[in-house]
Amino acid sequence: MKRHLFGVLVLVSPLLHAVETAPSDPPNTQWSSYNGNVNGQRYADLRQIDTGNVGQLGEICRLVVDELGSFHSGIVQVDGTLYVTTATDTLAIDATNCALRWRHHYATEEHGGNALQVNRGVAYASGRLFRGTVDGRLLAIDAQSGKTLWQYQIGDPQQGEFFAAAPQIYQGLVILGAAGGDWGIRGRVMAFDAATGREMWRFNTIPRDDEPGAETWQNAPSARYGGGGTWTTYTLDMAAGEVFIPVGNPAPDFLPEHRPGENLYTNSLVVLDAATGRLKWYHQLLSNDGLDLDLGAAPVLYFDGKGERIVAFGGKDGYLYGVNRETKQRVFKTPVTTIAEPRVLPDGKTLELCPGILGGVEWNGPAYDRANHALVVGSVDWCATLTRDENFEYKPGVFNFGGSYQQLEKSRGWIVAVDADTGAVRWQYETPAPQISGITPTAGGLVFAGDIAGNFVALDSKTGQRLFTADTGGAHAGGVITYMRDGRQYVAFASGNVSRLTFGVVGKPTLVLYGLGGKSGAAPAVAAAGTPTGTPDPAAGRDIFGKVCAACHGAQAEGGTGPSLSGLSARLDFDATVRWIEDPAAVKPGTAMPKLYPSPLDTAQVRDVAAFVQSLP
């Protein structure tokens, strides 16, 4: 199979600046939005930690935020408080010592919903936090006390709708879109009054009837479940009053012939008037997608060397795109992972794809390194196979892939820096496992990031050379931020995650702070396995399954990345199921299922999960 490993390494000399004395860092800074600022740049103008002293970094503190599950949360820091989320909880944490200030728990009203148990963070504005839930609600929470201010149902979890993205705030409006494209929802983005929760506008990412773009769904009934979810945060141009929405894949994912046409506005960057929701323009990466290569990461806004306004964004197709916002023309399209034309395997029914269904640029997109005028982006290098199901029938609330897929065994990741004007590759750094964390460049000449193998790294922003690495004991799938408090620079990141992109290490969801002079050493040891005690509890196992298993096997155990578990008791008895969960590779060699025992699952929890899946009809 012909493969393309994103081009030739191009070395570009950095711009020379005559600077007599580097400005000193302020004593306190904020990280008030998912990507630091609403423009998506993620650049930190901080110098205390630099290329000369980064080797002195060490751990200051850590706080376990949950015992199990996904931890994709972006991190917001306002006035010395960090705000992070799990699927159900919102936490306020001291930004200097990890002390928990308050914890808000949301009890789901629909058994956790029918989709993924995941949340990617909050928006902050005027002393309030805003977040979505896995069962279709939008919450407003007091940032000082953690008390609920208002709560409204804005989606239907029984249709597979959930709200995973961190909202965005524009002039008193809370902007949030529905996730769940793989479940066959009809995607939409909405704006709500921040004071009252009243809906102010909505834009349907899958147009129907007389809406512009409806004609691109030539099989009109298929638009009813056409996908087009949004599952990360959004980007704002405050001066132009525009909100940039990354829109995901159409559904059914693998059957483009079921929905002929361009399938607007899937796989598109959609630009709306932030005040009204009116469509201003869009840029579609791929029409009539049949490979699940959606656009899932927030774009970044910046000016090129000529002063032209540019938007850059990365897709699951493995490319980084640059589009001129003045002319609406594409400026560059740069591969940032392994890309190959799909090929048919010998059975004549199965395709091999690179990147695979979980490859390319995921929910944390490119950052803009202002000092070097470069874009820095992480990506997943993971091929997969895909088999289409010609007997597809839409079923609400479950995966509607229109087939099945399997990730191949080998995976890795990349952090790639490209010229912000031309898209030419400057350097590339290979990570031993998929790279999906936030990426943060700094004025200190560093790029901070993490990978799914649990490694926190600091790279030289000019060359990509690794200057510091630490094993944090948990997969990195959420935010990586840096800020000043009381004259000290901190780096905060999310460690510990179980999700469809889990590979190797998992760990308990944990917020970790690093700084100069912190403690160095190995990651915390995993607890030893326990002895079985008590009667397994299927109800407790159902809750655990939703947190750590449903991302792969489906919320109703219908199958997804992992196999369907329906009727498992006819194939495996209880003891065999326990052994499978405890050591997947020993029971099924070559399986992509992660090892979750003895951490984050202990002996009792494994038995509870086994009891639940044994009870499935």
Instruction: Summarize the confidence of residues 130-146 as an average pLDDT.
Output: 97
Cα–Cα distance, 197 to 181 (Å, whole number): 24
pLDDT digits (tens, 9 = 90+) for 1-19: 555 555 544 444 444 444 4
Give me the DSSP letters along 310-376: EEEEE-TTSEEEEEETTT--EEEEEE-SEEEEEEE-TTSSEEEEES-TT-BS-SS--EEETTTTEEE
Residue 146 in this model has a pLDDT that exceeds 50:
yes
Burial of 266 (0-12, 13-18, 19+ CB in 10 A): buried
pLDDT bucket at 533, cuts 50 / 70 / 90: low
Q: What is the CATH architecture assignment of 538-614? A: Orthogonal Bundle (1.10)
Residues forming beta bridges with residue 314, ordered by sequence position:
320
What's the gap between Cα 430 and its chain centre? 19
With vertex at residue 44, the alpha carbon angle to CA 39 and CA 47, rounded to the nearest 5 degrees, is 160
Cα–Cα distance, 314 to 337 (Å, whole number): 11
Percent of the chain with pLDDT strictly greater than 90: 75
Domain with CATH 1.10.760.10 in the chain: 538-614
Residues forming beta bridges with residue 245, ordered by sequence position:
270
pLDDT digits (tens, 9 = 90+) for 454-468: 999 999 999 999 999
53: which 2 tokens? 């002293």
Q: What is the pLDDT of residue 9?
A: 42
Of 325, 319, 320, the C-alpha closest to 244 is: 325
Q: What is the pLDDT of residue 152?
A: 97
CA quadruple 511, 517, 522, 525: dihedral positive or negative? negative
Domain with CATH 2.140.10.10 in the chain: 3-13+24-516
What is the longest distance spanned by two Cα atoms in the chain?
A: 75
Residue 21 in this model has a pLDDT that exceeds 70:
no
Instruction: Summarize the confidence of residues 536-541 as an average pLDDT.
Output: 82
Picking from 46-50, 156-160, 414-418, 535-539, which range would have the lowest pLDDT averaged per residue? 535-539
Instruction: Summarize the confidence of residues 94-116 as an average pLDDT.
Output: 87
Q: What is the pLDDT of residue 604?
A: 87
Cα–Cα distance, 62 to 513 (Å, whole number): 6
Mean pLDDT of the chain: 91
Of 437, 510, 611, 479, the C-alpha closest to 69 is: 510
Residue 240 in this model has a pLDDT that exceeds 80:
yes
CATH class of 3-13+24-516: mainly beta
Cα–Cα distance, 348 to 345 (Å, whole number): 6
